[in-house]
Structure 1
């Protein structure tokens, strides 16, 4: 007898009983144009345009992007390029190791500047079926990382193409409200972790200062 495919996770918020859906990523998103813009386009002065370079995704400079994010400024001649919007997801398509394949960033608020997708990125815009912020968390899961490992190509630099990425089967709640609740609890945990990390850094500095006075 064939094993019945699970229709929802065991751990779930109360009040939700509908089966989850499973669809290929390519059905759940549309693609936004990315541009082969490298570090050479960055400028030191402030402009009205920023970009997401794949290196900034790998170093978490581009992660959960809001108006306070420290992304690089680029020349305003790029302002006419296709811009990213709230809830868009940007995926790094190249990495020096398999662990970094398809690392992702997401835009979590409306931005006071134009932002575009730069070198070695794949930009995704979710349809009405799924939240981009939910997809961002999906790209952090072990299941997705295993998928990236299996389809990644290359020897010294590993890569993933849009066509391969679009084949990944995403498991998600049908109700947007349930997606938003999952996003909320995961984001709260991230914020708590960040606060504790900053506290640890402050305590480490205090310890260092005390040791210097011994």
Structure 2
């Protein structure tokens, strides 16, 4: 991002407008989260679903497809009712405020929510954009080095690192005014994510194949010869 004109070094064809740069608090409103631990959640069913900070840090990507991602459940009617004004919506962003390293601030943008009731859980800061943004843009931007590097000086702690709501509110958000340009950027990274997932599946299958062949091409359980041998060797 150029400091002079607030635009990135590379842009998609047809977009030339200067980017906006606004304070975090003018872009987002902060929602309520709950403090339920893993032990307080259920995997089978419940009154609402829950997003735990550990899953944001390790499991979920920049965009969380709620319709296709299994989430834990909350069975406490008291908590679900008390958080009625903070039920998540598409476009909301869930930020992990605690980690054991500098991954603090990793986040997931909510997508494909459907009619599910979902709440933001332990050690998360849920935020809602005050204006419309293209789906996925904020998730990718807030996870980029461009933004995350600004959080590092604001992190606190040694063994466990955290970042506060007030610290986040002192940061700035950059974005193109055009929703079309935001959408182009989001689609570009989503395509890359899909390619990574495809190749990861192929890699996982190859790893399984190697494990199977290691058993077949080497003697097992005291045998003096393997189950399979290459042609010509007896």
User: What is residue 15 of structure 1 aligned with on the other side?
Assistant: 14
Match of residue 172 from structure 1? 175
* C-alpha deviation, 1:132, in angstroms: 6.2
Give yes or no for contact 1:126–1:132 (8 Å, CA) kept in 2. no
1:73 match: secondary structure: strand
TM-score by length of 1: 0.91
The 2-side partners of 1:44 and 1:9 are apart by: 43
The residue correspondences of 1:48-197 to structure 2 (distance < 5 A) are: 48-61=47-60, 64-75=64-75, 77=77, 78-80=79-81, 81=83, 82-98=86-102, 100-128=103-131, 130-131=133-134, 133-197=136-200
Helix, strand or coil: the match of 1:123?
strand
* TM-score (norm. length: structure 2): 0.84
Runs of 4+ in 1 over 6 A off after TM superposition: none
Give the whole-Å Cα distance in 1 for the aligned partners of 2:135 and 2:127.
8
Larger radius of gyration: 2
Please list the CA deviations of residues 162-191 of structure 1 after superposition, one character each: whole Å capped at 9, or x if unmatched.
Answer: 111122112210111110111111111101
Secondary structure in structure 1 of the residue aligned to 2:44 = coil
- The verdict on how the C-alpha distance between 1:194 and 1:75 changes in structure 2, with shifts beyond 3 A counting, is same
Task: Output one character per residue of 1:43-64: Cα deviation in whole Å (capped at 9) or x when no partner.
Answer: 2431241111111111214752
Alpha-carbon RMSD across the aligned residues, in angstroms, is: 1.9
Q: Alignment length, in residue pairs?
A: 211
State the distance in 1 between where 2:135 and 2:187 align: 13
Distance change (3 Å), C-alpha of 1:21 and 1:61 = closer
**Shift in Å, 1:122:** 0.3
| 1:37 and 2:45 correspond | no
Q: Distance in 2 between matches of 1:183 and 1:53?
A: 24
Unaligned runs of 5+ in 2: 218-234
